[in-house]
Amino acid sequence: MNELDVWVNAAVEELGLRPEDEQTRQILDVARDVAHQVLRPGAPVTAYLMGVAVGRGADPADVAARISSLAKNWAGAKGETETQ
């Protein structure tokens, strides 16, 4: 078990949640997509927003796919916001 796994397990236990290994990978993948395609500080905010959406009943895999798609298609919008 690596340090990230130890941390996630400790946080999950502290918050009284169920560990979901697949969701951890999805969150990391989406955070990477946002950090690389949009803006690095957007990664933790996006992970939080994903948690809110899932907490409100959204499917985790659907949320991850939608956010990753949005990030991967952000290049045009990114250029527009940087010039404003």
Q: Where are the domains of the chain?
A: 21-82
Rounded Cα–Cα distance for residues 43 and 68 (Å): 11
Say which amino acid occupies 83: T
Task: Give me the pLDDT at residue 11, please.
Answer: 87
- What's the whole-number mean pLDDT along residues 41-59? 94
Task: Give me the pLDDT at residue 48, please.
Answer: 94
Can you point out the beta strands (E) in the chain?
none
Rounded Cα–Cα distance for residues 13 and 74 (Å): 35
Task: Give me the pLDDT at residue 23, please.
Answer: 81
Rounded Cα–Cα distance for residues 73 and 33 (Å): 10
Output 14 or 22, whichever has higher pLDDT: 14
- What's the whole-number mean pLDDT along residues 42-70? 94
- Model confidence at 67: pLDDT above 60: yes
Structure-token pair, residue 23 = 């969701």
Task: Give me the pLDDT at residue 1, please.
Answer: 74
